[in-house]
Amino acid sequence: MSEDLFNQQKVWDFRAAHWDEWGFDVPLAPNEQELKYQQKFVKPGSDVLVLGATKGLCKAMFDISDSVTSVDFSPEAINQFRVDGVNYVCSDWITFLESNQERYDNIVTDNGLFCLEFPAEWQRIIKAIYNSLRPNGVFCSRFFLSAQTPLKNEYINPNLSRIMPAMGKAAKSTDWTVIKSPRDEHDPYPARYVFPPKEVVKNMFQKYIVVGELVPTYEEGEHFVTIAFQREPV
């Protein structure tokens, strides 16, 4: 594991151990409306891969299919959020996807791309997800988005002050990469959060077909859009 990934793993171990103290709720955690939307693309008996140990999402997938695997590189997160019956693998997503030979009917995550570097790691994981889906398989994720059109040089999201927790005001660069200051000495990794406009997200998934999207009904729902992408049939 690279030093960069090792530092991220330590940070997420710390965050998982203190998750309840920070009060993560909607919209930073998916609500029932969003979970049900992700479920609509899953059929009983489907092989489902969950990127991350998000408890609500793992449970929602297991409610439909008994073949669910969750990949997270934080052992603490796996221990804290474990759902009985789900198979857990401790690995970073890109390494797992690029080396794994299994194919899935569904791959899901809850805003999992937001802490990957844009655009290089986005391009890499989007390709790996595509290669890991069966023909007509669906990748579904919630994305934290900038709803500004045209995009301004900075984007202020009032919910950002509660993200991991991050700054209330986030400086935006031309490639939509947000640099977050460390929370404290236990959070040394300067996490990179990405809030691109929706059309930028869709354009990243060039080999996929958009088969649905959900704008949730809660306040500022336009910043938290779930999009379903289908792998083109062979």
Contact 159, 109 (CB under 8 A): no
What is the per-residue pLDDT across 7-35, written as a single tens digit (0 to 9) for each? 677 778 887 887 777 667 788 889 999 99
What percent of the chain is predicted at pLDDT more than 90?
53
Query: Taking the model in full, what pTM does it have?
Result: 0.84
User: What are the domain boundaries of the chain?
Assistant: 3-231
Contact 73, 6 (CB under 8 A): no
Does the domain made of 3-231 have the CATH classification 3.30.110.40?
Answer: no
Say which amino acid occupies 175: D
Strand partners, 144: 224
The mean predicted confidence, pLDDT, of the chain is: 81
